[in-house]
């Protein structure tokens, strides 16, 4: 376990800035998830931490030691790659033992450690196989095992589950969390999948266009997103964003209006953020027409037209038909307010 601190990291390719002044402090034993859309710079940031890319400026501090320009081997970091990156000419055992052999660790220690990790990851049977004889899920387990065998205080994950199917992804999510609980390593985990971010991270750092937009716990980010981008990126199904203007307690939007319980709201409010689960289907209330229905198994996602406003509503699995009318009401307590520039207004 070690602290990891990134100070004013900038990475440029020519005139193109991929990372803009990134500063973040990751506590010892913390599981931090870097999440953002493709091209936001999250993998570049991870590679900078690993030493695979050198930042243009800024510093990377591991336990008060500046490792910005230190060789990769001196950083005591392990990494799990998106594409597994297993050595094809070696067996699973040799893949996992490779870093220890490079460090000339005693054979008995290597064997003991590999056996322990193989049992943990349930890959004992695969130790003598070559990577080409493994399935995608097994390869990613081996890749994880290789990182664990190093016993590094910091482990970096670069979208490790993105090549796996939904079932395996869920299984591996649980296993990675379990491993974190056992070894208490400091983890930096890159993903573009907000479900992974929400379920795995102690904290989430949201990146967009090379900037850190918000760093907070998953629930705080969900409840109090800093801006419209975060609100839209975190949460599935996506949040409803309705543009309009308040006058007293009336919010006017495309051809209709919502009446709010309080008498006065800030005139700066230009967008309402309403999570799909905060719109309740009721016997009374506003009337909307169902345009499309997505069956999510335990719930239904309804796409409804309320005048010219299109809303997403999460509801139970009752019978609904496309084109039929429903009544709904808003949970006003959970509505998030944004100003013209897309920033959240705290005291609306």
Partner 1 sequence: MIKKITSSIVILLACLFSIVPVLYVLSVSLRGDNAFGAKTLKIVTSTSNFDNYVKLFTETSFLTWLYNSLLVSFVVTLLGVTLAATSGYSLSRHKFKGKQFLLFSILTTQMFPATMLMLPFFIILSKLHLINNFLGLIIIYSSTALPFCIWQMKGYFDTIPKELEEAAKVDGCTNFQTFYKIILPMSLPALVITGLFSFMSSWSEYLVAAITLQDPALYTLPLGLKSFQSSLSTQWGLYAAGALIVSIPVVVLFIIISKFLVSGLTVGSVKG
Give the footprint of partner 1 on this chain (CB under 8 A): 50-52, 72-73, 77-79, 81-89, 98-99, 102-103, 130-134, 136, 139, 146, 150, 163
Q: Which residue, among 343, 341, 295, has the nearest Cα to 319 in the 3D structure?
A: 295
Minimum CB–partner distance for residue 107 and partner 1 (Å) = 17
Distance CA 317, CA 103 (A): 57
Minimum CB–partner distance for residue 117 and partner 1 (Å) = 15
Minimum CB–partner distance for residue 60 and partner 1 (Å) = 15
Distance CA 177, CA 191 (A): 15
Indicate the residue among 105 and 268 with the shorter CB distance to partner 1: 105
Minimum CB–partner distance for residue 147 and partner 1 (Å) = 8
> Is the separation of the CB atoms in 228 and 338 below 8 Å?
yes
Beta pairing, strands 245-247 & 250-253: antiparallel
Burial group, residue 211, by CB count within 10 angstroms (0-12, 13-18, 19+): middle
Distance CA 31, CA 199 (A): 11
Indicate the residue among 52 and 345 with the shorter CB distance to partner 1: 52
Indicate the residue among 96 and 179 with the shorter CB distance to partner 1: 96
CB atoms closer than 10 angstroms to residue 241: 15
Distance CA 179, CA 117 (A): 10
Indicate the residue among 40 and 77 with the shorter CB distance to partner 1: 77
Indicate the residue among 118 and 156 with the shorter CB distance to partner 1: 156
Sequence-ordered list of residues with C-beta below 8 angstroms from that of 344, at least 6 positions apart, any chain: 224, 225, 226, 227, 231, 336, 337, 338
Indicate the residue among 99 and 270 with the shorter CB distance to partner 1: 99
Indicate the residue among 150 and 344 with the shorter CB distance to partner 1: 150
Burial group, residue 285, by CB count within 10 angstroms (0-12, 13-18, 19+): middle
CB atoms closer than 10 angstroms to residue 191: 23
Minimum CB–partner distance for residue 196 and partner 1 (Å) = 17
Minimum CB–partner distance for residue 8 and partner 1 (Å) = 24
Minimum CB–partner distance for residue 134 and partner 1 (Å) = 7
């Amino acid at each position: 376990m070690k602290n990891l601190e990134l100070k004013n990291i900038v990475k440029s390719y020519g005139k193109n800035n991929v990372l803009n002044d990134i500063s973040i402090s990751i506590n010892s034993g913390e599981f931090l998830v870097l999440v953002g859309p493709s091209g936001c710079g999250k993998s570049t940031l991870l590679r900078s931490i690993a030493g695979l890319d050198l930042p243009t400026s800024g510093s990377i501090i591991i336990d008060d030691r500046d490792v910005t320009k230190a060789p990769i081997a001196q950083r005591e970091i392990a990494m799990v790659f998106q594409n597994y990156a297993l050595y094809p000419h070696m067996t699973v055992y040799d893949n996992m033992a490779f870093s220890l052999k490079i460090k000339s660790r005693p054979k008995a220690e290597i064997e003991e450690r590999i056996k322990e990790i193989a049992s943990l990851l349930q890959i004992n049977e695969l130790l003598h196989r070559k990577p080409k004889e493994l399935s995608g899920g097994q390869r990613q387990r081996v890749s994880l095992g290789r990182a664990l065998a190093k016993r590094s205080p910091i482990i970096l994950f670069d979208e490790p589950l993105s090549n796996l199917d939904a079932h395996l992804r869920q299984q591996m999510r649980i296993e990675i969390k379990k491993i974190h609980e056992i070894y208490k390593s400091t983890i930096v985990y890159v993903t573009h999948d907000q479900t992974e971010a929400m379920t795995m991270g102690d904290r989430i750092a949201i990146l967009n266009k090379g900037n850190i937009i918000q760093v907070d716990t998953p629930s705080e980010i969900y409840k109090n997103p800093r801006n419209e981008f975060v609100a839209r990126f975190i949460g599935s199904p996506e949040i409803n964003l309705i543009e309009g203007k308040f006058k007293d307690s009336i919010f006017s939007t495309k051809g209709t209006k919502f009446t709010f319980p309080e008498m006065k709201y800030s005139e700066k409010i230009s967008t309402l953020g309403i999570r799909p689960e905060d719109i309740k289907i009721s016997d009374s209330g506003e009337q909307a027409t169902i345009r499309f229905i997505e069956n999510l198994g335990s719930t239904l996602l309804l796409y409804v037209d309320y005048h010219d406003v299109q809303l997403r509503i999460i509801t139970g699995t009752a019978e609904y038909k496309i084109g039929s009318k429903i009544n709904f009401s808003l949970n006003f307590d959970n509505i998030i307010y944004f100003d013209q520039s897309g920033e959240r207004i705290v005291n609306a």
